[in-house]
A = this chain, B = another copy of it.
Amino acid sequence: MSVEGTRRATIDDVARLANVHKATVSRALNAATRHQVSAATVERVERVAAELGYVANAMARGLRTSSSMAIGVVIPDLTNPFFPPIVRGIEHFLQPRGYTVLLANTDSSEAIERAVVASLLGRRVDGLIIASGVKDHQSALAEAHAVGAKAVMLNRDAGSALYPLVAGNDASGVAAAVAHLAQLGHRDLVHIAGPLELSTSATRSSAFVEACRSIPRARARVVEAEALTVEAGQRRMDRVITEGGRRPTAVVAGNDLIALGVLRSLRDHGLTCPGDVSVVGFNDITFAEDFWPPLTTVRVPTHELGMEAARVLLEGIASGEQEPTTLLLPTSLIVRGSTGPAAAR
């Protein structure tokens, strides 16, 4: 059996078979205007529509109403388990409200981000949720802003206050992680940050430095991984271990993927965790508890993050204006097996 292109039923087809004008069909099929049509007509129209498998053409509707009922969601890396729960949070908020989510990956590339935002703008999305955002990624964002597009930044601040921001409270999360390590007796700490041009990396990094100030006799330093990936984390930890000097007894990683790279690096060098080195991650991605050892990490409320971003966006769309507010959701430290007492020196 082969599938051939059948012409899709239009509102005129329904009108003809139901013996009414297409305007009446439109009214009968839309919840907001259904009450203007007699019950008998509504019933008849619905029956015919079902028979024909009629589904209204969203492009025609959008063209007429100048609303696409679509929201563009831009994320840097779908394969990072941090993002899927956020996307589901966004969908859980938007779908019941009739919106379609257009999801786009950028692979953390500014060029792709520009292309993708242009494509979404071309589809006349009613708003954008942007979880990408290298600091100097102003072009795509500025373009969106220039044409008056509604948007919300998620998790990453693009540096300039063009749009509202919804994120986890990174600073308090890092502070909790450092306090936990301090209490375990750690005095030699390293923070392996993500690329510092990312606002989250910058925030976490300065929070780390700040938090370490209050630990007496602590030696703390920050090093930078090239990316928020397992491989980059592993490579950077390799260097920390091999470059000589005093080896840290604890590592605070910029995110869970970097932390996982740290764990791999430790294994490769015959070091134990948490015996030789304690490790704390960030985000509490799915499976963090299944790594070996189970990862102590800062939990970020991903689902809520997505829901809130969607809520803030819809508010902006409804009110017709947006203020660049900041909404920080609380984070919490989840203590598992990758942190333990500092080895005696």
| Residues of A near any B CB (own CB < 8 A) | 1-9, 53, 55-60, 62-63, 68, 70, 78-79, 81, 84-85, 87-88, 91, 95, 100-105, 115, 118-119, 121-124, 143, 145-151, 161-163, 260, 263-264, 286-287, 290-293, 316, 320-324
Question: How far apart are the CA atoms of A99 and B124 in the complex, in Å?
Answer: 15
**A3 B147 Cβ-Cβ under 8 A:** no
Known: A2-B321, A103-B103. A58 touches B123 (CB 8 A): yes
With both chains docked as a complex, state the minimum distance between the C-beta of A115 and any C-beta of chain B, in angstroms. 8
**B6 A59 Cβ-Cβ under 8 A:** no
Which of A57, A163, A263 has the most chain B CB within a 10 Å cutoff?
A57
**B146 A53 Cβ-Cβ under 8 A:** yes
CB neighbours of A56 from chain B (8 A) = 122
In-complex Cβ contact of A88 among B53, B70, B105, B118 (8 A): B105
In-complex Cβ contact of A79 among B84, B145, B263 (8 A): B84
Complex A-B, nearest 5 residue pairs according to Cβ-Cβ distance, in ascending order: A6-B148, A292-B292, A78-B84, A103-B103, A59-B59
CB neighbours of A320 from chain B (8 A) = 4-5
Give A81's nearest chain B residue, CB to CB. Answer: B81
Can you report 28 A-B residue pairs in the complex whose CB atoms are below 8 A from each other?
A2-B323, A3-B148, A3-B163, A3-B321, A4-B148, A5-B150, A6-B147, A6-B148, A9-B147, A53-B143, A55-B118, A57-B63, A58-B59, A59-B68, A78-B87, A79-B85, A81-B81, A81-B286, A84-B84, A87-B105, A95-B115, A100-B119, A102-B103, A260-B290, A287-B291, A290-B290, A291-B292, A292-B293
Give A56's nearest chain B residue, CB to CB. Answer: B122
Known: A87-B78, A148-B5. A59 touches B124 (CB 8 A): yes
Question: How far apart are the CA atoms of A59 and B120 in the complex, in Å?
Answer: 11
**B59 A145 Cβ-Cβ under 8 A:** no
In-complex Cβ contact of A122 among B6, B55, B263, B293 (8 A): B55
Question: How far apart are the CA atoms of A147 and B63 in the complex, in Å?
Answer: 23
With both chains docked as a complex, state the minimum distance between the C-beta of A121 and any C-beta of chain B, in angstroms. 5
Question: How far apart are the CA atoms of A38 and B146 in the complex, in Å?
Answer: 30
CB neighbours of A150 from chain B (8 A) = 3, 5
With both chains docked as a complex, state the minimum distance between the C-beta of A285 and any C-beta of chain B, in angstroms. 9
Give A337's nearest chain B residue, CB to CB. Answer: B292
**A88 B81 Cβ-Cβ under 8 A:** no
Question: How far apart are the CA atoms of A70 and B68 in the complex, in Å?
Answer: 14
Question: How far apart are the CA atoms of A119 and B62 in the complex, in Å?
Answer: 13
**A59 B123 Cβ-Cβ under 8 A:** yes
Give A79's nearest chain B residue, CB to CB. Answer: B84
Question: How far apart are the CA atoms of A103 and B145 in the complex, in Å?
Answer: 25
CB neighbours of A149 from chain B (8 A) = 3
